[in-house]
């Protein structure tokens, strides 16, 4: 189905982004997977191309573009022609907005120029070894000591954990309140801030995921992001966009897998004819085509709602739920249609299959998405008893 949300300037921008991904990102994917990490220089190149933090203020080197359709295009083209492990979406669309929206003038002037240029790579640290997504059970602590905060604790499964120069760290600052959390900007080189293992994952091999440790890290008061004790509220405010960013990526990778498979079933022959000519193949490809169009339309509408400030937590959760579940079904069917080749690491569809397994887990599991949607319907046991 023809998508109707984009205008001519979006399509021109897409052409330039596609060229960048095809020349600077895609050709390096194999090497990055072997190394387990993306080159830092790629962020610098993306910054020079104007692809990082499109919303960034012009005084800091940004384009000042608040239209999220442009960000959507960057995510889509990276998934199609770049590499899923190049976490430009995490840097630009998930972490940088914390500084852009919550940072004071001094913080924005100090950090945003490097963030926009790609010199400063970002990460966010919420998940802990024993609590997972349960922020109320967070054990990392920060205690106020004069003009600084003493930070202690550990985080795990942190994307950009090795490359990250500035990490937005969530820590408990009020032990008497389950949601008494604050956010801190922890910088590379701070005494007591240590990286643990670069974790070996099922998929996303080129994306560096790591453990982080904070041992009496003295975080200056100037690195407190927003107000103390308001971190849980800030995290909740950002989650709708985070889940929409995820949904954009999921539907883009599912569409890419479909395109690869459509080409394959037209060329691969069995019993004297292309396997795409068999009714089972034809019907399943048709079903996927219809479902992909339906989900893409939903995601596009969510982007427009985000632009107008109307995207709800429930809508974003539904987008994340539906696209991640659809991506899983599409990947499984596409691997099946590739036959034995689909199980071989040298085929992109095999790598995409393992990459996609995390989609139903991170940014909130499918089960959590169902809880959010259900509570939005008024089906909340805390309020129904």
Q: CA–CA distance from 51 to each of 14, 21, 71, 94 (Å)? A: 11, 11, 8, 14
How far does Cα 230 stand from its chain's mean position?
23
For the chain of 385 residues, list the mean pLDDT of each consecutive stretch of 10: 96 98 97 96 98 97 97 98 97 97 97 98 92 74 96 96 97 89 98 96 96 98 97 92 97 98 95 94 98 98 97 96 98 97 95 97 92 91 73
How does pLDDT run across 213-248, given as a tens digit for each residue?
A: 999 999 999 999 999 999 999 998 999 999 999 999
> 292's torsion region: left (phi>0), alpha (psi -120 to 50) or beta?
alpha
The pLDDT score that the predictor gives to residue 371 is: 93
Strand ranges for 131-204 from DSSP E? 141-145, 148-159, 166-172, 181-187, 193-198
The pLDDT score that the predictor gives to residue 134 is: 64
Annotated catalytic residue: which of 66, 242, 314, 381? 242
Q: What DSSP designation does 205 have?
A: T
Q: What DSSP designation does 268 have?
A: -
Half-sphere exposure of 112 (CA within 13 A, CB side): 26
| The token pair that represents 304 in the structure block | 């427009």
| b/e per residue 32-47 (b: at least 16 CB within 10 A) | bbeebbbbeebbebbb
Is residue 246 within 8 A of residue 102, CB to CB? The reply is no
Neighbours of 105 (CB within 10 A): 7
**To the nearest whole percent, how much of the chain has pLDDT over 70?**
98
140: phi then psi, degrees, rounded to nearest 5: -60, 130
Residue 91 to residue 248: CA distance in whole angstroms: 15
3 state SS of 273: strand
3 state SS of 139: coil
Is residue 39 within 8 A of residue 32, CB to CB? The reply is yes
Residue 211 to residue 349: CA distance in whole angstroms: 29
| The token pair that represents 278 in the structure block | 């068999």
The pLDDT score that the predictor gives to residue 16 is: 98
- Would residue 242 show up in a list of annotated catalytic residues for this protein? yes
How does pLDDT run across 95-146, given as a tens digit for each residue?
A: 999 999 999 999 999 999 999 999 999 999 999 987 766 666 789 999 999 9
Beta bridge partners of 142: 151
The pLDDT score that the predictor gives to residue 132 is: 62
């Amino acid at each position: 189905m023809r998508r109707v949300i984009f205008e001519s300037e979006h399509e021109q921008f897409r052409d330039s982004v596609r060229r960048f991904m095809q020349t600077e990102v895609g050709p390096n994917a194999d090497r990055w997977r072997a190394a387990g990490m993306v080159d830092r220089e790629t962020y610098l190149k993306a910054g020079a191309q104007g692809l990082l933090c499109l919303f960034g203020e012009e005084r800091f080197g940004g384009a000042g573009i608040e239209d999220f359709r442009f960000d959507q295009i960057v995510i889509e083209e990276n998934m199609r022609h770049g590499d899923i492990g190049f976490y430009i979406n995490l840097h630009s669309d998930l972490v940088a907005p914390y500084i852009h929206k919550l940072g004071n003038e001094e913080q924005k002037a100090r950090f945003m120029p490097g963030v926009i240029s790609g010199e400063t790579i970002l990460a966010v640290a919420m998940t802990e070894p024993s609590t997972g997504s349960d922020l109320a059970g967070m054990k990392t602590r920060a205690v106020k000591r004069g003009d600084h905060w003493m930070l202690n604790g550990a985080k795990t499964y942190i994307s950009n954990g090795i490359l990250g120069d500035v990490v937005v760290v969530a820590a408990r600052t009020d032990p008497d309140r389950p949601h008494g959390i604050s956010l801190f900007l922890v910088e590379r080189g701070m005494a007591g801030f240590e990286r643990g293992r670069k974790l070996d994952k099922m998929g996303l091999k080129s994306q560096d995921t790591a453990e982080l440790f904070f041992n009496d890290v003295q975080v200056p008061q100037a690195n407190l992001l927003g107000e103390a004790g308001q971190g849980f509220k800030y995290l909740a405010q950002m989650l709708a966009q985070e889940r929409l960013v995820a949904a954009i990526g999921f539907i883009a990778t599912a569409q890419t897998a479909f395109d690869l498979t459509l080409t394959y079933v037209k060329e691969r022959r069995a019993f004297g004819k292309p396997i795409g000519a068999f009714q089972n193949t034809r019907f399943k490809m048709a079903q996927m085509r219809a479902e992909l169009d339906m989900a893409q339309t939903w995601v596009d509408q969510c982007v427009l709602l985000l632009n107008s400030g109307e995207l709800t937590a429930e809508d974003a959760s539904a987008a994340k739920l539906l696209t991640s579940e659809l991506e899983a079904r599409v990947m499984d069917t596409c691997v099946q249609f590739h036959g034995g080749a689909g199980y071989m690491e040298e085929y992109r569809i095999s790598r995409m299959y393992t990459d996609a397994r995390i989609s139903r887990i991170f940014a909130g599991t499918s089960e959590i998405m169902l809880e959010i949607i259900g509570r939005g319907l008024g089906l909340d046991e805390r309020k129904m008893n």
